[in-house]
Amino acid sequence: MSESTGSRSSAHGTSSSAQTRLTSIVSHLRHSSTSHKHKVVVTRNLGPDIMPLLLDHPDLEVITWPEDRVCDRSWFLANLPGASGALVMLSEKINAEALDKAGRTLKVVSTMSVRYDHVDLDAIAQRGVKLGHTPDVLTDAVADLSVMLALMAGRNSKETTSIVQNGEWPNFNWAPFSFCGPQLSASSFSPTRTAGFIGFGRIAQATLARLIPFGFTHCLFTGNPTSNSSSSVASSIQAKYPTLKAVRRVGLDELARESDVVFVLAPGGDKTYHIVNEAFLKQMKKTAVLVNTSRGTLVDSDALIKALREGWLWGAGLDVVEGEPNIGLDHPLVREPRCVVLPHIGSATNESRLGMATLAAQNLIAGVLGEPLPAELKLTK
Amino acid sequence: MSESTGSRSSAHGTSSSAQTRLTSIVSHLRHSSTSHKHKVVVTRNLGPDIMPLLLDHPDLEVITWPEDRVCDRSWFLANLPGASGALVMLSEKINAEALDKAGRTLKVVSTMSVRYDHVDLDAIAQRGVKLGHTPDVLTDAVADLSVMLALMAGRNSKETTSIVQNGEWPNFNWAPFSFCGPQLSASSFSPTRTAGFIGFGRIAQATLARLIPFGFTHCLFTGNPTSNSSSSVASSIQAKYPTLKAVRRVGLDELARESDVVFVLAPGGDKTYHIVNEAFLKQMKKTAVLVNTSRGTLVDSDALIKALREGWLWGAGLDVVEGEPNIGLDHPLVREPRCVVLPHIGSATNESRLGMATLAAQNLIAGVLGEPLPAELKLTK
């Protein structure tokens, strides 16, 4: 018990990093002599709600990066030898170098992310190491943000908030259609509302659920061309929401033409690279908005800039942008008045990140103890 | 037909105001000789979708303020004599002076607004003039914005958008809980979600409808103390949304203590002045957000500034602020990082303003022709 208390302070004392480092070293030295414990390397302090899951676990010796910034590569590699598990962030490359440093003791890598493009899947599979990640727990947070961006893009939030922030409200020359954009909700002037989803997985379906009471009447989606389950998906969605007049899998052209809001929610990678391109954007309604809360690479930024400048669509709400985080203040999308840009905060709610951190801790513990991971990414050797 | 075309150009030719004025005068002179037409004064060009309702009407002679700014009082008063109706904005004071200028011919004043605090109700009632306004048609637009502000306040949109707009994204020091705020949706960490409504009319109920798929489980509301219909309202809402665990009318203290989001949606006036004050804010959850989309006077700005600075609540989303539009860039709420301020855009969607303008035109026409107004404010003499 005194040991776990010692370990806990090593992870929590971020207010005094020198003290923290000292405690961490002492804790490490003490744990090194207790050979029945499994050493795990944790590359970020996960806070007072989550760290006790690891620090208080009787079978773990926890080595936590003590700084409040991205873990140094050299620290990570230096602490890996003899580790049974590693709990890492997107910032840690898990490649042959890291895996070899850890050596044969390594049973599990648990990443606190849905994505795993920082992991060399071949290298980890070859070594028989399990890989855990954190899907599902961020579904609601991203669906919330998708709805928020659809509203913000339609309601000209960038222009209207800047009128206030720049002190222009007192002298603004009001007119009957000042600030007006397309209404997300159905109205007598727009009795049908169509949501188009590029990718129709959990997050897309959770977003659709939220749109139903806004009066959405039609749901269009694209799917994996090799999947033959589209018709059963469509009929189950249709059964769930009787107010929808149609739920259909369609091609990209029809989706672009018919949608009032297009939600980009497909995985990244070569197959979806620039799936929203000039040809797609040219077909959109002039009153439609585009929301991207998946990966920046799915939307051709140059084409979107042109589309916004020339009024091919009403506006855009982006949580992700090609080349992020290297998106400076002169990036044309940042300057575009009808393009809301957020710094990739899709999963950034206290509840969602607690869920991700909890699942990452659970994956780590299960992997170290040789139990099934709650969320394992199955690898093929 | 040639006359109505003449009138139409008087309302549309905003690109050349001298030409417009000339056409307007000519049209006016021609119409003055056609005694069977009812003269109506319109204080703002309502655009190409709405003006034809008036300009093409065979019984109307339409005099429209030709500039793209608030109507001059002198122009308004000079054009009122002999008018049967006036279609006005919030900017036009309808007092004894204006009513007496119009004289006994005046049958109706139609305001393109829900509010009527620019109208002297006693003066208009004494003269037997009908008053039309435009309720209901903006319900969905304001409900949409209420949900948007709840999301923006919780998700730290002011801080996160400014990180991007200020060019700080590339060098931002990410941490597992960066950008995180309270999640609007229910989660395993927050399985119950409580919406509190100060005022529970149409807009509040439309807002509640939108929150149901976010996993809201409890609905609390305050009502008019003299109303005894609260229990029937509660039971009809409960029947409509079976996933709600409770729908209850409560006192302000309980509403403040229990709500995850407080929506201020009651009418303005003396009875609700500063209903959200220091005592209310002190009782709120530290993770709760406040949304005001009704009237600025309901929230004590000084108390809210103090509450945000001291962390009594998480954040606020305001579409209205006491003293608006005189809210400069140094206003403490504008400077507060967790307070989103919009320049009163609640009803500002194309669809909603089209609906308001259409209803205002219909009220004007009905009043002039002696028919029942689609939306008349009943006055007591």
pLDDT digits (tens, 9 = 90+) for A218-268: 999 998 655 657 788 999 999 999 999 999 999 999 999 999 999 999 999
**Residue A92: pLDDT above 90?**
yes
Query: Is the CB of A351 less than 8 angstroms away from the CB of B326?
Result: no
The CA distance from B31 to B28, in Å, is: 5
Query: Which pair of structure tokens corresponds to residue B56?
Result: 């093409």
Q: Give catalytic residues of A, as residue numbers.
A: 344
| DSSP string covering A95-121 | SHHHHHHHGGG--EEEESSS--TTB-H
Token pair 């409960």 is at which residue? B238
Name A357's Cβ contacts closer than 8 Å, sequence gap at least 6: A46, A47, A49, A50, A112, B176
Query: Is the CB of B180 less than 8 angstroms away from the CB of A348?
Result: yes
For the packed helices B157-165 and B139-154, what is the interaxial angle rounded to 10 degrees?
Answer: 70
For the segment A281-303, the average pLDDT, to the nearest whole number, is: 98
Q: Which of A377, A375, A363, A339 is nearest to A153 (CA)?
A: A339
Do the Cβ atoms of B24 and B64 come closer than 8 Å? yes
Of the two residues B213 and A3, the one the predictor is more confident about is B213
Within 13 Å of residue A138, how many CA atoms lie on the same side as its CB?
A: 24
For the segment B109-131, the average pLDDT, to the nearest whole number, is: 96
| Confidence bin at A57 (pLDDT 50/70/90) | very high
Cα separations in angstroms, B22 against A49, B9, B11, B273: 73, 11, 12, 47
Which residues, in sequence order, are bridge partners of residue A191?
A: none
The CA distance from A120 to A118, in Å, is: 7
Q: Find chain A residues with C-beta within 8 A of B324's C-beta.
A: 169
Strand order in the sheet with A194-198: A246-249, A218-222, A194-198, A261-264, A289-292, A315-318, A339-341
* pLDDT > 90: percent of chain A: 86
Q: Find chain A residues with C-beta within 8 A of B354's C-beta.
A: 189
The CA distance from B16 to B18, in Å, is: 6
Smallest CA–CA distance from A71 into chain B, residue: B175
Do the Cβ atoms of A94 and A76 come closer than 8 Å? no
- Span B50-85, pLDDT tens digits: 999 999 999 999 999 999 999 999 999 999 999 999
Choose the closest CB to B176 out of A112, A151, A342: A112
Query: Is the CB of B343 less than 8 angstroms away from the CB of A213?
Result: no
**Residue A24: pLDDT above 60?**
no
- Span B39-59, pLDDT tens digits: 999 999 999 999 999 999 999
The CA distance from A259 to A200, in Å, is: 15
Do the Cβ atoms of A320 and A146 come closer than 8 Å? no
Backbone angles phi and psi of B301, in degrees to 5: -60, -40
Q: Find chain A residues with C-beta within 8 A of B115's C-beta.
A: none
| Least Cα separation, residue A36 to chain B (angstroms) | 30
Q: Find chain B residues with C-beta within 8 A of A349's C-beta.
A: 154-155, 180-183, 187
Q: Find chain B residues with C-beta within 8 A of A184's C-beta.
A: 144
Query: Is the CB of B170 less than 8 angstroms away from the CB of A348?
Result: no
Mean pLDDT of chain A: 91
Query: Contacts for B371-379 with beta carbons within 8 Å, 24 or more apart?
Result: B373/B108, B373/B110, B373/B130, B373/B132, B374/B132, B375/B132, B375/B133, B375/B134, B375/B135, B375/B136, B376/B130, B376/B131, B376/B132, B377/B116, B377/B131, B377/B132, B377/B133, B379/B121, B379/B124, B379/B125, B379/B130, B379/B131
Choose the closest CB to A68 out of B143, B175, B180: B175
Q: Count other Cβ atoms within 10 Å, centred on residue A117.
A: 11
Q: Find chain B residues with C-beta within 8 A of A180's C-beta.
A: 348-350, 352-353
**Residue B13: pLDDT above 50?**
no
Q: Find chain B residues with C-beta within 8 A of A356's C-beta.
A: 176
| Residue of A43, A183, A358 to mutate when probing chain B, most B C-beta within 10 A | A183
**Residue A27: pLDDT above 60?**
no
Choose the closest CB to A148 out of B151, B165, B209: B151
- Span A137-195, pLDDT tens digits: 999 999 999 999 999 999 999 999 999 999 999 999 989 999 999 999 999 999 999 99
Of the two residues B359 and A25, the one the predictor is more confident about is B359
Smallest CA–CA distance from B187 into chain A, residue: A351
Q: What is the pLDDT of residue A230?
A: 74
The CA distance from A359 to B246, in Å, is: 31
| Confidence bin at B27 (pLDDT 50/70/90) | low
For the domain covering A2-137+351-368, report its CATH number: 3.40.50.720
| Least Cα separation, residue A63 to chain B (angstroms) | 17
Mean pLDDT of chain B: 91
**Residue A10: pLDDT above 70?**
no
Query: Is the CB of A352 less than 8 angstroms away from the CB of B163?
Result: no
| Least Cα separation, residue B337 to chain A (angstroms) | 11
**Residue A53: pLDDT above 70?**
yes
Query: Is the CB of B350 less than 8 angstroms away from the CB of A182?
Result: yes
Do the Cβ atoms of B374 and B132 come closer than 8 Å? yes
Ranges of beta strands (E only) in chain A are 38-42, 60-64, 85-88, 108-111, 130-132, 194-198, 218-222, 246-249, 261-264, 289-292, 315-318, 339-341
Smallest CA–CA distance from B154 into chain A, residue: A349
| Confidence bin at A14 (pLDDT 50/70/90) | very low
Please report, for chain A, the start and end positions of each structural domain, with discontinuous segments joined by +.
2-137+351-368, 139-341
Smallest CA–CA distance from A323 into chain B, residue: B170
| Least Cα separation, residue B277 to chain A (angstroms) | 23
Smallest CA–CA distance from B145 into chain A, residue: A151
Q: What is the pLDDT of residue B246?
A: 97
Q: What is the widest separation between alpha-carbon atoms in chain A?
A: 76
Q: How much helix, strand and coil, in percent to the nearest 5, is found in chain B?
A: 40, 15, 45
- Span B248-265, pLDDT tens digits: 999 999 999 999 999 999
Homologous superfamily assigned to B139-341 = NAD(P)-binding Rossmann-like Domain (3.40.50.720)
Smallest CA–CA distance from B161 into chain A, residue: A342
Query: Is the CB of A164 less than 8 angstroms away from the CB of B334?
Result: yes
Q: What is the pLDDT of residue A228?
A: 58
| Least Cα separation, residue B290 to chain A (angstroms) | 16
Query: Is the CB of A357 less than 8 angstroms away from the CB of B165?
Result: no
Query: Is the CB of B161 less than 8 angstroms away from the CB of A156?
Result: no
Question: What's the distance, CA A367 to chain centroid?
Answer: 24
Q: Find chain A residues with C-beta within 8 A of B91's C-beta.
A: 174
| Least Cα separation, residue B29 to chain A (angstroms) | 28
User: What 3-state class would DSSP assign to A57?
Assistant: coil
Name B98's Cβ contacts closer than 8 Å, sequence gap at least 6: B76, B77, B80, B86, B92
Q: Find chain B residues with C-beta within 8 A of A353's C-beta.
A: 176-177, 180
Query: Is the CB of B151 less than 8 angstroms away from the CB of A147?
Result: yes
Tell me if A2-137+351-368 shares its fold with A139-341.
Answer: yes
Cα separations in angstroms, A25 against A47, A62, B321: 19, 11, 54
- Span B333-350, pLDDT tens digits: 999 999 999 999 999 999
Query: Is the CB of A161 less than 8 angstroms away from the CB of B165?
Result: no
Choose the closest CB to B343 out of A144, A163, A324: A163
**Residue A269: pLDDT above 70?**
yes
- Span A327-346, pLDDT tens digits: 999 999 999 999 999 999 99
Containing B358, the helix (H) or strand (E) segment is: helix B350-368
* pLDDT > 70: percent of chain B: 89
Q: What is the pLDDT of residue B223?
A: 80
| Least Cα separation, residue A147 to chain B (angstroms) | 8
Do the Cβ atoms of B301 and B333 come closer than 8 Å? yes
Smallest CA–CA distance from A49 into chain B, residue: B189
Do the Cβ atoms of A304 and A331 come closer than 8 Å? no
Query: Is the CB of A186 less than 8 angstroms away from the CB of B140?
Result: yes
User: What 3-state class would DSSP assign to B39?
Assistant: strand
Choose the closest CB to A177 out of B156, B169, B350: B350
| Least Cα separation, residue B326 to chain A (angstroms) | 5
Ranges A225-229, A318-322, B18-22, B297-301: which has the least confidence: B18-22
Can you give the length of chain B in residues?
A: 381
Query: Is the CB of B348 less than 8 angstroms away from the CB of A173?
Result: no
Q: Find chain B residues with C-beta within 8 A of A156's C-beta.
A: 345
| Confidence bin at B240 (pLDDT 50/70/90) | very high
Do the Cβ atoms of A173 and B71 come closer than 8 Å? no
Query: Is the CB of A351 less than 8 angstroms away from the CB of B182?
Result: yes
